Amino acid sequence: MIFFLVSDIICFVLLPQSPMFLKIAFISYWSCPLTKVGVLASGGMNIYVLSLANYLGKLGHKVDIYTRVHKENDEKILQTNKNVRIIHLAAANIKDTDFFSYKVQLFIKKSKLKYDILHTHYFYSGLIGLELRKRLAIPLLSTFHSLGKTKELYVGIRDAFRIDAEKKIVSKADGIIASTELEKSDLMESYKGEGKKIFVLSPGVNHHLFKPKNKVLSRLKLNLPLKPKTILFVGRIDPIKGISFLIEAIVKLTRQYRTFEKNYRVLLIGGDISSSIFWANSEVKKIKQMILSKNLECCIKFIGSRPHHLLPDYYSASDVLVAPSLYESFGLVVLEAMASGACVLVSRVGGLKYLVKDKVNGRFFENGDVISLSDILWKLLNNKKERLRLGSNAFVSSQRFCWDIQAKKMEDVYKRFL
């Protein structure tokens, strides 16, 4: 602001302020954001971390993502755009977060770096963040992406180490980013989180990539047959994803309708099908045995993980995207499918309830209800007009989750802590 005197009147002129660009450190210890999606532990969190960083970079902020080395055993720095770097550092045992924290501190010191905000992703990263926060004296925000308590509740798997770590992070972090109001409620009730430091900010979707495409052209591009109706699943092959419910529903439909096997196919996208480790996985073995025991190899196929940039073609090539999850903290796959104009059929759980409105932009079935799933699936497969209506509405409703908007909201949260 400047002022000058005109005939004894003091005039003030407000000059435009230059934007405040931040230097942000992400910790993504559990897996590198560049890891192939759907393989092992890589999933929606990887897409979230990389997308958020890149869109913050578009706003002018500098973002460094610290992660563990993978594949080649060397430390690399990769530039994803002019403002975003992925910094690979060596790690010891997965639970030895102190060692990784030391490696990050060493890199920062040698590189003479200073950050304004520290943002961690998943509970292992959160533990590293607590140590870095003490050393760097900067605000710490944490996003869990999923919670140990909810996994225990819906899948029956208790991880005491994880739950204790999450409680510690909730208590000591400066801020927590929750994807939905439901997650905020879980953090407050199960983890005694303070409501005033929990910010609800949903993930986004890249509408430049995920958009409706011609079904025939998409199938031709992917070398998929044009005639059969296609049911699609996309995600990690994990018990919490509820794939067995989808298989049971298909079994039911093949018994009811003799022509089903010839006219329908199910594509399961996820996992590294070229790896013996994949086929040795207990959940994969369970699903494979279900398929073999019912002689459904003809119409249910594991096709493995697919590059993220090809998923819009798969969504557009499908007739129905099914997400039969036992729980979803948000449901990024479903959002991507909706942005691609796909007809979605999802279980009424977790964050999916914030994305889908039944009979408006998709369909719900009750968690684990195979009869309901098979009945609704059959009706959708045989009603093209309804599929198109739901897909069109899904595309429209997905617009409020654009990453351009969500990154700006995150920027606003960060600036609260400066």
The pLDDT score that the predictor gives to residue 153 is: 87
Query: For strand 320-323 and strand 300-302, is the pairing parallel, antiparallel, or unpaired?
Result: unpaired
- Lowest-confidence segment of 4-18, 116-130, 235-249, 278-292 by average pLDDT: 4-18
Nearest one of 164, 126, 151 to 238, comparing CA atoms:
151
- Tell me the mean pLDDT in the region 270-280: 90
Over the chain, what is the mean pLDDT? Answer: 92
Q: pLDDT exceeding 90 applies to what percent of the chain?
A: 80
- Tell me the mean pLDDT in the region 387-412: 97
Q: For residue range 148-186, list pLDDT tens digits in order.
A: 998 898 888 889 999 999 999 999 999 999 999 999 999
SS3 309: helix
The pLDDT score that the predictor gives to residue 93 is: 79
- Tell me the mean pLDDT in the region 212-227: 96
Q: For residue range 63-103, list pLDDT tens digits in order.
A: 999 999 876 656 789 999 999 999 999 887 788 899 999 99
Between 246 and 17, the higher pLDDT residue: 246
Quickly state the pLDDT bin for 260 (edges 50, 70, 90). Answer: confident
The pLDDT score that the predictor gives to residue 42 is: 62
Q: For residue range 285-339, list pLDDT tens digits in order.
A: 999 999 999 999 989 999 999 999 999 999 999 999 999 999 998 999 999 999 9
Alpha-carbon Rg for the chain in angstroms = 23
CA–CA separation, 250 and 264 (whole Å): 10
The pLDDT score that the predictor gives to residue 38 is: 58
Cβ pair 148, 163 in contact under 8 A:
yes
- Looking at the domain 215-401, which fold is it? Rossmann fold (3.40.50)
Same fold for the pair 23-204+404-416 and 215-401? yes
The pLDDT score that the predictor gives to residue 7 is: 46
The pLDDT score that the predictor gives to residue 39 is: 61
The DSSP string of 107-171 is: HHHHHT---SEEEEESHHHHHHHHHHHHHH---EEEE-SS-HHHHHHHH----HHHHHHHHHHHH
The pLDDT score that the predictor gives to residue 110 is: 96
Between 43 and 213, the higher pLDDT residue: 213
pLDDT tops 90 at residue 369: yes
23-204+404-416: CATH superfamily = Glycogen Phosphorylase B; (3.40.50.2000)
Cβ pair 399, 393 in contact under 8 A:
no
The pLDDT score that the predictor gives to residue 75 is: 78
Q: Say what the alpha-carbon torsion angle 32, 38, 41, 44 is, to the nearest 10 degrees.
A: 70
Q: For residue range 127-156, list pLDDT tens digits in order.
A: 999 999 999 999 999 999 999 998 898 888
Quickly state the pLDDT bin for 251 (edges 50, 70, 90). Answer: very high
pLDDT tops 80 at residue 9: no
Domain boundaries, the chain: 23-204+404-416, 215-401
